[in-house]
């Protein structure tokens, strides 16, 4: 789904799967916080004392691998963050960083657990959220074996555009989250030099244009065809 108003939560997101009344109750329990771009919202290794509901803006989820931040994914408005650490009491397994101005609701673990006891159907949605993220990660790993670099990149950009794309008047789609070449390379498990070649291939086909940390999909149908 293309980017729209935060209140119209995208289908498949945590808030987008709740009824309006349950969403209102949940958000009413949250403390509001606002983060500028680049600010860490959750830090890997810290105590899982609360969950975060992403109300507006986008965030990057990263983990440290051999001293370097590796991008695991992007989360959009309506997503739940930090639920595993909060529910298990284990340290955070990833860092969440704001991309642009980001507004979140923060809910202490005990309050969230009490909310889930009142609404057991929401517990199933939390499990579904975790399962969806694992499915996405497993699909990426399957792509590593099955497809060449330019197809992996096309599949990744198509998925990101569906979640974090803004359709422009000329029917091109701008990915609104800034992405570096190392981040793209990490998400599809290829070297930076290989992602550079893959980007060049997609540009030469007229499928995308790129600038510094900016990608525009010029031919969404063509990119989707390559991805399939």
pLDDT digits (tens, 9 = 90+) for 94-137: 999 998 899 999 999 999 999 999 999 999 889 888 887 777 66
User: 25 is written with which tokens?
Assistant: 């109750």
Spatial separation of the C-alpha atoms in residues 24 and 169, rounded to whole Å: 34
Instruction: Say whether 147-227 and 15-143 share the same fold.
Output: yes
pLDDT of residue 174: 93
Nearest CA-CA partner of 72 in 177, 188, 205, 209: 188
Integer Cα distance of 30 and 42 in angstroms: 16
**Domain chopping of the chain, boundaries:** 15-143, 147-227
- Domain 15-143 class, CATH top level: mainly beta
Residue 207 to residue 16: CA distance in whole angstroms? 31
- In the prediction, which pLDDT does 3 show? 42
pTM of the model: 0.76
List pLDDT tens digits, range 156-206: 899 888 878 889 999 999 998 888 898 888 888 788 999 999 999 999 999
Per-residue CA distances from 65 to 62, 75, 94, 173, 196 (Å): 9, 20, 11, 32, 21
Q: What is the CATH number of domain 147-227?
A: 2.60.120.10
pLDDT > 90 fraction of the chain, expressed in percent and rounded: 54
CB under 8 A, 24+ apart: contacts of 138-147: 140/187, 140/188, 140/189, 141/189, 143/188, 144/188, 144/189
What residue spans of the chain are helical by DSSP H? 20-29, 83-88, 109-118, 120-146, 149-164, 181-187, 192-204, 220-227
- Local confidence band at 2 (pLDDT 50, 70, 90 cut-offs): very low
The first and second tokens of residue 169, run together, are: 């008047």
Please tell me the least confidently modeled range out of 34-43, 86-95, 219-228.
Answer: 86-95
- Quick one: which of 136, 143, 191, 138 has its CA closest to 159? 136
Summarize the confidence of residues 53-73 as an average pLDDT: 84
**Residues pairing with 156 in the sheet:** none
Answer yes or no: is pLDDT of 4 > 60.
no
CB 54 within 8 A of CB 97: no
Q: Cβ contacts of residue 173 below 8 Å, gap of 6+?
A: 2, 161, 165, 166, 167, 216, 217, 220
């Amino acid at each position: 789904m293309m980017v729209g108003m935060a209140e119209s939560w995208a289908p498949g997101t945590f808030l987008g799967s709740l009824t309006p009344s349950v969403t209102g109750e949940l958000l009413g329990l949250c403390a509001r916080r606002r983060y500028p771009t680049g600010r860490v919202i959750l830090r890997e290794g810290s105590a899982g004392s609360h969950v975060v509901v992403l109300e507006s803006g986008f965030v990057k989820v990263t983990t440290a691998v051999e001293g370097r931040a590796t991008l695991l994914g992007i989360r959009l408005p309506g997503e739940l963050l930090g639920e595993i650490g909060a529910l298990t009491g284990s340290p955070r397994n990833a860092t969440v960083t704001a991309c642009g101005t980001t507004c979140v609701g923060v809910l202490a673990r005990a309050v969230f657990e009490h909310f889930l006891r009142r609404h057991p159907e929401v517990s199933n949605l939390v499990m579904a959220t975790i399962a969806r993220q694992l499915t996405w990660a497993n699909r990426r790993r399957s792509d590593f074996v099955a497809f060449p670099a330019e197809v992996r990149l096309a599949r990744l950009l198509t998925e990101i555009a569906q979640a974090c794309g803004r359709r422009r008047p000329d029917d091109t789609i701008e990915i609104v989250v800034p992405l570096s070449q190392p981040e793209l390379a990490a998400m599809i498990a290829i070297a930076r030099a290989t992602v550079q070649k893959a980007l060049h291939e997609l540009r030469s086909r007229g499928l995308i244009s790129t600038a510094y940390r900016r990608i525009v999909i010029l031919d969404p149908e063509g990119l989707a065809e390559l991805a399939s």
